[in-house]
Amino acid sequence: MSATLTGTSPAREFAANFAQSKIAVAGFAVLCLILIVAVGAPLISPQNPYDLAQLDIMDSKLAPGESSVSGATYVLGTDDQGRDMFSAILYGLRISLGVGVMSTVAALAIGLAIGLISAYAGGWLDALIMRLVDLQLSFPSILIALVLLAVLGQGVDKIIVALITVQWAYYARTVRGNALVEKRKEYVDAAVCLAYSTPRVLFRHILPNCLPPLIVVATVQVAHAIALEATLSFLGLGMPITSPSLGLLISNGFTHLLSGKYWISFFPGIALLVTIVSINLVGDQLRDVLNPRLK
C-alpha cells in the first residue's frame, strides 16, 4: 500500500478499493492505533501496573478522574489493588492481542499443512482427516476449548494450545477445497512434469495460490480468538493471574460491579469491543476487495 508508486500497481489499486469504505478505513486507523499503544504500552502507560512498588493500596477503587493522595490522577479509575486501570488496559491489550495473533498464525500454519496434504494425498488419509474436521466443527469452539483447558490446566501455553486446536480444522477444510481446485490446473501438471518433489509442488506452487483468501479469513479469526480467550479467562480457565488479559481484568471487576464500581469491568470491556469491531471491519472490507466475484 505504498502511496509513492505511480501508475496502477496492484498495491495502489488494492489501497484505492479498500478506501472505498470510509468505515473500514476508520476501523483500520483505530486498529493501527490499538497496535501502537499495545506494543508501546511500557512507554505510554503512566505506571507499570504489575510493579507492586508503584501501587498504593490507599488508592484502591478510585472512580474515573479521581486523584490520589499523592496527586496522580487516574483517568479510568483504579481497581481493588490501587492499580491504574488505563495502564492495566494497555498491558492487557498487549497480552490479548499477542495470544490472539500467535494462536491464529500457528493454527493457520498447521491447518494449511494438513489441508494441503489431505487434498494432495486423497484416498483414505483425506477421508480420515476430513471426517475428523467435520466431527470437530460440529461442536462449538467454546465447548472444545473449555474441555481441553479442564484437562490441561491453566497457563498461557495451554490456552494457546486450546485456541490452536479450535481453529486449525477450519483452515484445513478451506485450504483443502482451494487446493483441490488448484491441483487440476496446468501449472501443477507442468511442475510435476519437471519432476519437482511433491513437497516442492505443494508448498511452492499450490500453496501461494491458495493463500490470499485464507489470510482474509485469518484476519477475522484473530478477533474470534481474542473474544474466545477473553471468555475463557472470564470463566477463570484462561490466562493465569500473572498475565492479566482484558478478559481477566473484566472478570476481576465482576465482583465489584454489584456494588456500583462499574469502571473496573466497563473500560477493559470497551477496549475489547473496540479491538474486535475494528478487526471485523477491516476483515469484512478485505474480503469484499479480494473477492473476485464482487469485482
Residues lying near another protein in the complex (CB under 8 A): 135, 138-140, 142-143, 146-147, 149-151, 223, 227, 230-231, 234-237, 250, 254, 257-258, 260, 262, 265-266, 269, 272-273, 276-277, 280
Grid coordinates representing 73 are 490522577
CB of 259 to another protein, least distance (A): 8
Q: Which residues pair with 84 in a beta bridge?
A: 78
CB of 237 to another protein, least distance (A): 6
CB of 255 to another protein, least distance (A): 11
Closer residue to another protein in complex, CB, 163/276: 276
CB of 113 to another protein, least distance (A): 22
Closer residue to another protein in complex, CB, 38/230: 230
CB of 277 to another protein, least distance (A): 5
Closer residue to another protein in complex, CB, 163/188: 163
CB of 260 to another protein, least distance (A): 6
Closer residue to another protein in complex, CB, 206/222: 222
Q: Which residues contact 73 (CB under 8 A, 6 or more apart)?
A: 65, 66, 67
Closer residue to another protein in complex, CB, 11/23: 23
Residue pair 245/99 in contact (Cβ under 8 Å)? The answer is: yes
Closer residue to another protein in complex, CB, 176/224: 224
CB of 176 to another protein, least distance (A): 20
Closer residue to another protein in complex, CB, 213/269: 269
